[in-house]
Amino acid sequence: MQHSTRIAALNLVGEALDIQHYLAELPHHDFPILNSLALDASGENPPDFVAELPDIVLNGGIPGLKELKLTRINLPWPAVRGLESLSLTKCNDSSASSIQTFDMLFAMLELCPQLKTLQLNRVLPQDVDYPGRPAVHLSHLTSIDLRDHAVLCCIVLKHLKFPLDAQVLVYSHRVRTGMDARQILVPIRRHLRAPTTPKPSILMIECYASSNPTVPANCMISTLRGTTPSDFEHHLRQTLSKVVKAVAFEHITHLGVRMAPYLTQCSHRWLLERFPALETAFVIADDALTARLRA
C-alpha cells in the first residue's frame, strides 16, 4: 500500500486469511483521503476463522472514513462512529465479551447520526425478548435494508426513527403466514400512512419459504415455494390481507407470485381485485389469466 496517500476508495474481495493480511497492514499506512472502505471475506475460509477489522482503523486510523461495507468480517461495534453509509453482512461485534445485544447495536447506530444508508444482513442479535429502549434518531437516513428473521427486523424498525420518505427494504425470513407479515408491517405503517408521507419508492417484503430463495429483481411481495398445495393459497391470501390492511393499496404497484405454482384462477382474481394500482405483476399464467391481466 505504498500509494495509500492517493487512495480515496478501497475495495478488497478475497479469502479471510488474505483479507486479514491487508487488515493488519492498514494501521501502518496513512490514508488522508480515504472515505470509502469495502472488504469482503466471503471466499473459502478455514473453519472457525473470521477476519477482524483492527480497532485502530476506526479510532482515527482513517480519519475521513464515511462509507464502510463489510462482509464476514468482525469489527468493534463501539468504535464505529461518524459514518454516512454502513453495510454489514454477517459481521459480529469483536469487542463483545459475551453475546451481542440490541443495546450494543443501537449504541453503534447512535454514534452515526449522519447515517444516510444502512444495510444489516444477518447481523441482528438473537435477543427476541428485547425489552426496548429510547428510539435512535437517524434524521438523514434515505435507505434502510434489513435482512434477517421477521421478529428481529421488527425490533430494529420499532427502535429507529428516520424520515418518512426513506426507502425501506425488508428481506425477512420465516414469513409464511399473515401473522408473520403483520409483525413487520405494523412498525412501518406509520411511514406509509402519515399524512405528510410522499409516495414511497419501493416497499419490498420478501416472504422466504425456501432455504435457498431467489430474489425477484422488481417485486414488492414475493411468496415462494415451501408450503403444500393444500394450504398454500390460504397462507398467501392471509399474508396479503395483512399487507393490504397495513399499506394503502395505491402504494402497491409491483407484485410477484411467479414462484407460486399452486395458485388457481380464483386466487388470481382475488389478487387483481385487491391491487387495482398494479403496474407490473410477475405470475405463472395460463391463457385465461393473461387475458384478465390485459383487460
Q: What is the pLDDT of residues 261-275, one digit of tens each?
A: 556 667 767 777 777
Residue 67 has pLDDT above 60, yes or no: yes
Average pLDDT of 34-51? 89
**pLDDT confidence of 239, banded at 50, 70, 90?**
low
Give the pLDDT of residue 60: 86
Most confident range (mean pLDDT) of 65-69, 211-215, 226-230, 232-236 is 65-69
Where are the extended beta strands (E) located within 25-135? 36-40, 51-52, 67-71, 73-74, 85-89, 117-121
Which residues touch 181 (CB under 8 Å, ≥6 apart)? 150, 175, 205, 207, 239, 242, 243
Give me the chain's average pLDDT, please.
Answer: 78
% of the chain surpassing 90 pLDDT: 38
Which residues touch 116 (CB under 8 Å, ≥6 apart)? 84, 85, 140, 141, 142, 143
Task: Please give the Cα distance from 199 to 245 (Å, whole number).
Answer: 17
Give the CA diameter of the chain. Answer: 67
Per DSSP, the residues of 88-117 read EES--BTT-SS---HHHHHHHHHT-TT--E
Dihedral (CA of 237, 243, 245, 249) sign: negative
Give the pLDDT of residue 54: 93
Average pLDDT of 116-124? 95
Give the pLDDT of residue 256: 66
Q: Is 210 left (phi over 0), alpha (psi -120 to 50) or beta?
A: beta
Dihedral (CA of 214, 216, 222, 227) sign: negative
List the beta bridge partners of residue 136: 160
The single residue listed with the C-alpha cell 493480511 is 21
Which residues touch 52 (CB under 8 Å, ≥6 apart)? 20, 23, 73, 74, 75, 94
The single residue listed with the C-alpha cell 382475488 is 270
The single residue listed with the C-alpha cell 453503534 is 108
Residue 113 has pLDDT above 60, yes or no: yes
Q: Comparing 257 with 3, which gets the higher pLDDT?
A: 3
The one-letter code for the residue type at 123 is V
Q: Comparing 212 with 172, which gets the higher pLDDT?
A: 172
Alpha helices in 121-252 (DSSP H): 150-159, 178-193, 229-246
